[in-house]
Amino acid sequence: MLTTQPSREPAERSALRTVVRGILDRHLPGPEALETDRRGTFSRVTWEALGQAGLLGIGADEALGGSGGTVGDAVAVTEEVARRLPSLAVDHVLTGMAMRMLTSPDCGATSSLLPRVATGEAIASYGLSEPGAGTDLLALRTRAELRDGQWHLHGQKTWISLAHEAEVVFVLARTDPATDGRRARGLSLIAVPTDQPGVQVTRVHLAGMRAAGTCEVFLDDAVAPAENLVGERGKGLRILSQALDVERVMAAAISLGIGRAALDLALSYAHEREAFGAPIGALQAVQHPLADSMAEFHAARALVDLSVRRIEEGEDAIAHAGMAKLVASETTARIVDRSMRAMGAMGLAEESAMQMYFRDARLQLFSPISNEMIRNLVAEDAGLPRSY
Ligand SMILES: Cc1cc2nc3c(=O)[nH]c(=O)nc-3n(C[C@H](O)[C@H](O)[C@H](O)COP(=O)(O)OP(=O)(O)OC[C@H]3O[C@@H](n4cnc5c(N)ncnc54)[C@H](O)[C@@H]3O)c2cc1C
């Protein structure tokens, strides 16, 4: 029978998915996940259970305190988490990015945090976006100055996931002027401890991804030891750009998880719900949109799998990862819309996960990078002039 399950997956990967589902069933069963979303809270218990099972340290070397594993493993874990609670999958992806900074050979003093982040005991978040700098990240205004062996930071970061739970935020700040008009130069990544008067964190409440712990971070003479600089001064973007393909493919995995969960829910509803003396799933008007969704879902998964293979085989994957993120998120937006229609009023009911998938699928269209910007980059990769 045709299902949304991945096909031809290695046995160890399927076993990994089973482990994730077991943890979620124990600590965050479906109704609990919906309640967590409704309250907008971060499920620390589930997080730590994922960490203790080695699922937060995937991709980081065991010798450094991570759990090893491949990008494909991390993608499978993210997809499974997103099926239950997409907000938590956002945190999984962003922690993965923080983990990449911690495993960077130039991470310096902060790397000692890695084993605790990998087990979920400590949280590190990742602060790039600002009120005036989203897609146009290089417009950021946060400044850092080195004085008497300490960085002093002033500025504001916004939409930062889990900053209210984090011990450090990796902040991208301008440390040096842009030279030759190149704004990417002179930006540095600094691990800023949150437990100090110069750092104020406030929660932001959103209509989607409500349990991801989205925050604003105010830096008013926040300090960090000089050695908390990650990588070379003025070259912070270089470290980030090394991880962009992985971040985009992980974002695509969130979309796959949401799309899969929404389609599965609609299919089972179409079996159960009756109208005019028969299940609504017997009506072509209900069947065809779900069939389109099934076909498009598998096409999106194939592109994600291709990108994962390219990354794992060390090929240039940035364009493919971008296309995977674009296709998976646009596909999922359509799947969720069609699935919700198939459920009528029940799709809007708070007791149904469909309304959560519908809201959460929105984030995937613009984060961590907007689909419009991906289209710009893909067009440029295809030989057209840069349009922005
Ligand atoms: C739940 C959530 C969690 C997040 N977590 C984090 C986090 O942990 N850390 C972090 O740093 N950030 C985080 N973000 C921020 C996220 O990365 C940004 O929302 C994203 O980069 C887009 O920026 P923006 O929202 O400011 O949109 P804008 O940049 O204001 O874009 C608005 C619109 O203009 C379009 N646009 C802009 N420029 C162009 C162009 N040149 N060509 C075509 N179209 C263009 C965009 O595509 C978009 O449609 C999070 C956001 C949310 C909602």
**Are 354 and 368 found together in one domain?**
yes
- End of a domain among 119, 149, 166? 119
- Does ligand 1 come within 6 angstroms of the Cβ of 170? no
**351 C-alpha to center of ligand 1: Å?**
30
Q: What is the pLDDT of residue 247?
A: 95
**Are 112 and 173 found together in one domain?**
no
For residue 134, count other CB atoms closer than 10 A to its CB. Answer: 18
- Does ligand 1 come within 6 angstroms of the Cβ of 129? yes
Terminal-to-terminal C-alpha distance of the chain: 46
Asked whether residue 281 is assigned to any structural domain, the reply reads yes
Q: Which of 159, 363, 373 for a ligand 1 pocket mutation test, highest count of atoms within 8 Å of Cβ?
A: 159
**236 C-alpha to center of ligand 1: Å?**
19
Asked whether residue 220 is assigned to any structural domain, the reply reads yes
- Does ligand 1 come within 6 angstroms of the Cβ of 119? no
Nearest to 235 by CA among 289, 186, 307: 186
Asked whether residue 4 is assigned to any structural domain, the reply reads no
Nearest to 265 by CA among 42, 30, 58, 97: 30
**How much is the average pLDDT of 78-107?**
92
pLDDT at 110 over 90: no
Q: What is the pLDDT of residue 107?
A: 78
pLDDT at 241 over 90: no
Q: What share of the chain has pLDDT > 90, as a percent?
A: 89
Domain of 100 in residue numbering reads as: 11-119
**How much is the average pLDDT of 235-261?**
94
Q: Mean pLDDT of all residues in the chain?
A: 96
pLDDT at 233 over 80: yes
**Are 298 and 359 found together in one domain?**
yes
Asked whether residue 5 is assigned to any structural domain, the reply reads no
Asked whether residue 285 is assigned to any structural domain, the reply reads yes
**Are 217 and 265 found together in one domain?**
no
**How much is the average pLDDT of 62-73?**
92
Going by their DSSP bridges, the two strands 168-174 and 199-203 should be labelled as unpaired
- End of a domain among 65, 84, 119? 119
**Are 264 and 315 found together in one domain?**
yes
**Are 222 and 92 found together in one domain?**
no
The model's confidence at residue 86, banded by pLDDT at 50, 70 and 90, is very high
User: How many domains is the chain partitioned into structurally?
Assistant: 3
**Are 370 and 259 found together in one domain?**
yes
**Are 23 and 81 found together in one domain?**
yes
**How much is the average pLDDT of 333-342?**
98
Asked whether residue 388 is assigned to any structural domain, the reply reads no
Domain of 84, CATH number, reads 1.10.540.10
Q: What is the pLDDT of residue 181?
A: 82
Residue nearest to atom 19 of ligand 1 (CA): 367
- Does ligand 1 come within 6 angstroms of the Cβ of 126? yes
- Does ligand 1 come within 6 angstroms of the Cβ of 95? no
Out of 93-107, 276-290, 305-319, which region has the weakest mean confidence (pLDDT)? Answer: 93-107
**Are 169 and 114 found together in one domain?**
no
Q: What is the pLDDT of residue 209?
A: 98
pLDDT tens digits for range 187-197: 999 999 999 99
Nearest to 86 by CA among 350, 373, 332: 332
**How much is the average pLDDT of 35-53?**
97
Q: Which of 123, 135, 183 for a ligand 1 pocket mutation test, highest count of atoms within 8 Å of Cβ?
A: 135
pLDDT tens digits for range 154-179: 999 999 999 999 999 999 999 999 98
**Are 228 and 256 found together in one domain?**
no
- End of a domain among 119, 142, 175? 119
**Are 264 and 358 found together in one domain?**
yes
**How much is the average pLDDT of 4-23?**
96
Asked whether residue 295 is assigned to any structural domain, the reply reads yes
**Are 251 and 185 found together in one domain?**
no
- Does ligand 1 come within 6 angstroms of the Cβ of 276? no
- Does ligand 1 come within 6 angstroms of the Cβ of 160? yes
